[in-house]
Amino acid sequence: MIVPLLMLWLGYAERTATATSLAAIVFVAAFAAATQGLYGNVRLLDAAAVGVPAIAGVLGGAWLAQRLPGRAIALLFSAVLLGSAVELVLR
């Protein structure tokens, strides 16, 4: 949501908007995770087991983005998301 606001109101280029928004997310996610931790909802071990390998995933994904047809993959993932949303609600 921050990205379009930065582009429309502050006239950011898409890349700058995305990068700045991601930097802001560091604060927000860390703070929200800490707050959730107070509620006892955070599984520390699972978060580390997911979050650390994800770094390698992001680097690999960024590398792949230069080499794969972005639109086809976006459509494919869009379908996967839809299916997962339905599964999440129905299970």
Partner 1 sequence: MTGAILIGVAGGVIAGLLGVGGGVLFVPGLVFFLGLDQHHAEATSLLAIVPVAIVGTVRNDRYGNVRREDALVLGLLSLAGAAGGVALANALSGPVLRDGFAALMVLVAAQLARGALAPRRGGGDRAEPSPSAPE
In the range 16-75, which residues lie near partner 1 by CB under 8 A? Answer: 16, 18-33, 35-37, 39, 41-44, 46-66, 68-75
In the complex, minimum distance from the CB of residue 24 to partner 1, in angstroms, rounded to a whole number: 4
Tokens read off for 66 = 């230069």
Smallest distance, partner 1 to C-beta of residue 51, A: 3
- Considering Cα of 74, then 80, then 81, then 83, what sign does the dihedral take? positive
Q: Between residues 8 and 30, which has the closer beta carbon with respect to partner 1?
A: 30
